[in-house]
Structure formats: C-alpha cells, structure tokens
Amino acid sequence: MTGLRAEGLQFSYGKRLILRDMGFAPLQPGKLTALIGPNASGKSTLFRVIADLLRPSAGAVHLGDLDLRTLSSRKRLQQVCFMPQIFTANAALTVFDVVMMAQKQLKGWRVSGEDIDAVARALDTGGIGHLAEAYVSELSGGQSQMVSVVQALVRNSDVYLFDEPTSALDLRHQLDVLGRIKDAMAERGTIGVVALHDLNLAARFADHLILLGGGRILAEGPPDEVLRSAAISETYGVDIEITRGPREDLLVHAY
C-alpha cells in the first residue's frame, strides 16, 4: 500500500456544486491528516465520496496505483473504513456486541476466539473496556462517540476516515481519542484522515493539514505552513496568530 490521493473530484447536490475540481497529494501511511475548514466547506462530502457512499460526477480516488472506482462495494469497504459523525446502534445491544458487529461485517457472522480477542483489544485501545457489558442505550453522547471510534479501529483497513470524532467529547477525552487514533495509525502503518473544527487540536495531532473552503482545497502541507498561510484568515474570516506553547506545540489564536 502507498498513498491515498484524489484528483479532479466534483460532486453536486442538485444544482449546488459541493466539491469543485478537488484533488490532494498522496497522504502517507502511518500519518494522520486533518481536514479543516468552516462549516459547509465540503469535509463530510469528501469523506463520503472517498468511502464510495456518494458518487462524484468527475474525478477519481487512488490508493497507490489502484483506482478505487474499480473495486466492488465489499472490497472498497475492506480498504476504506469511514466513521460518520452520528453513532447509530440498536439500543438492545451491548457495547461489546456493536463492536463485534463491526469486526464481523465483512468476514461472515461465525464468531471465533480470535474475533473475541480482537474486540477486547479494540475496546482497551479505545479506553472503554469497562463499558463492554453496558447497553448502548445507557451511554452518554461522549461514550457513544468513543464506541464509534472503536468500531472503526477494530476493522483491518488501509484507510480510516474519522468525521468529527471529538465533537461530543470534553477536553480530556478529545486529547485522549485523538492521541489514540494517531498512535493506531502509526503502529499499523495505515492512512488516517480526521475532520476537525478545532485548529489547536489539528495543530497538535496532525502530521499534515488540508484546508477546505468553498468546496476547494485552498492549502495543504505541514501544520506550521498551512496555519501560517494567508488562506487561513481568509477562509475563516478572522485574524489568526500562531505562537509556540511550553512544549513547542503550535497554538492558534483567533481575533
């Protein structure tokens, strides 16, 4: 496996053009990329196009030399794992059950000891092993979101797309889940892409940033370069100042 890249993507809802000739340079295995940009900039639509939930009117997505359009729906699901913003699961199921369903989605439904071990490891990786026997109806919004992240991490995919995985989490759990995602991508040597609104979280955890605005990619590259670009202030409509924190992380101040 080599990088994930897109070229010339266009997608419309009716007459409203959402993605406009969108393309990005290859995203590398073992690295975490953050999609940033204001609301309605095309982040979720781009994820759904990459995951083959929406079909573009033009353009292509490649994983290495492989054109993902040539894959069957089942094979694409194996290659690309998409975690949407909204967690849905049957309230009568336990957390262990719903993660097991994600584990078995593409493998048939006979459960082996290896499957049980894989689910237990994924729950521990996500820091929610203590919730294994809880029913999903009992979970808080933040806990539900953590379960959704674990459902993604239990899968053995080449590309992971996380759409706003921190939106329902408090600060401590935001740091925790992004740290776990970043570590998992590095350990597995897989491609991770996360959509984020918080520029400070993007600066802290992402190896690479892609700035979207108006359905186009306006800047991409290392966080230090993208966050210091004029495109940031223009896209968000605020003045941006970048400083360094005590640990030398980038800090984003908006005025």
User: What is the CATH classification number for the domain harbouring 41?
Assistant: 3.40.50.300
The rounded percent of the chain whose pLDDT value lies above 70 is: 96
pLDDT in tens, 9-25: 999 998 899 999 999 99
Cβ atoms 49, 19 nearer than 8 A: yes
Mean pLDDT of the chain: 90
**Does residue 187 belong to any structural domain of this protein?**
yes
Look up residue 13 and give its two tokens.
């809802």
The 8-class DSSP code of residue 248 comes to: S
Cβ atoms 43, 34 nearer than 8 A: no
- pLDDT at residue 106 greater than cutoff 70: no
pLDDT in tens, 53-69: 999 999 999 999 999 98
**Does residue 141 belong to any structural domain of this protein?**
no
**Does residue 184 belong to any structural domain of this protein?**
yes
Distance CA 107, CA 105 (A): 6
The rounded percent of the chain whose pLDDT value lies above 90 is: 59
Domain housing 207 = 4-85+157-254
